[in-house]
Amino acid sequence: MKVVVTGATGFVGRHVVACFVREGHSVVAVARDAQRGATMPWHGQAEFVACDLAADFGLVIEHSREADALIHLAWPGLPNYRDFFHIGRNLLADVAFLEAAVAAGTRQLMVAGTCLEYGMQYGPLTEEMETRPHTPYGFAKDALRKSLELLRKQQPFTLQWLRLFYMYGEGQNPNSLLAQLDRAIERGDVVFNMSTGDQLRDYLPVEEVAADFVRAATNSERCSGVINCCSGRPISVFDLVRQRCEARASSIQLNRGHYPYPDYEPMAFWGVPAKLAPLRQAT
């Protein structure tokens, strides 16, 4: 395939581009900062286009005319989930860009969604469930998906909405849990402050997330609509941290209960990857 990947230097995007390149596909990688693009491990193996999609997406539209699929990962401002700019700026900019891409001939569109679209629902979350977002970020992503579903009724195209859960790996936000733990271990800290850690979450290595993007993109006839990109296996945050300490042979003391639980997440939720599961078994 020939694919266009926006947000190509972000946490997920850098791995998605690398996975497509590794599997022998042709990639046009799009991001705002050309200097950052030059530091990516896939530099020289993918065509790079420097572009701020919110300012002028014309060049990316031209590339998407020639591509088999457009994979849209760009979304500024994360991990701030609470700010209104997700609705006031990002949502409007994405609707304009993706509408133009479809009008220009894009027939396979893959977009990154978020588990925060589900809102405060507990337990296993299925792809058919009603969405109930209560953060600006979750609301904006949910509104974008619904907008694209309405657009499909006027101009048909394949929509693949990969709803991402929790991820970890190279390039993760330095303020994320495991990144902070790794730094504490490397500094030789005696204590690591955390929440009580009883909340259940769904985590995947980012490399596996990237592989799921390739699986879905190359199997669009079997895998479309809302697609939960997750492990399907709940794990407590405490167990996640404990396992990381064991893997790194660290005896750092875990100070549980130092931080409160986030108020924008339920205590226990995880995804059901019904559409990706058979594709994973086949590879």
Give the CA distances from residue 101 to residues 91, 105, 268, 269, in Å, rounded to whole numbers and listed in that order: 15, 7, 38, 34
Q: Give the residue-averaged pLDDT of 28-37.
A: 97
Residues 6+ positions from 22 with CB-CB distance below 8 Å: none
Encoded tokens for 140: 């904006």
Can you give the pLDDT at residue 163? Answer: 98
Q: What is the mean pLDDT of the chain?
A: 97
**How many other C-beta atoms can be found within 10 angstroms of the C-beta atom of residue 110?**
23
Q: Give the residue-averaged pLDDT of 244-260.
A: 97
pLDDT above 90: residue 200: yes
pLDDT above 90: residue 252: yes
pLDDT above 90: residue 283: no
Q: Considering all CA atoms of the chain, what is the largest pairwise distance in Å, rounded to the nearest integer?
A: 60
Q: Give the residue-averaged pLDDT of 106-134.
A: 97
Instruction: Please report, for the chain, how many H helices and E strands are present, in that order.
Output: 10, 15
Can you give the pLDDT at residue 226? Answer: 98
Can you give the pLDDT at residue 51? Answer: 95
Q: What is the pLDDT of residues 9-31, one digit of tens each?
A: 999 999 999 999 999 999 999 99
Cβ burial of 95 (10 Å; 0-12, 13-18, 19+) is middle
**Which among 168, 274, 156, 184 is positioned nearest to 222, based on CA atoms?**
274
pLDDT class of 1 with cuts at 50, 70, 90: very high
Q: What is the pLDDT of residues 160-186, one digit of tens each?
A: 999 999 999 999 999 999 999 999 999
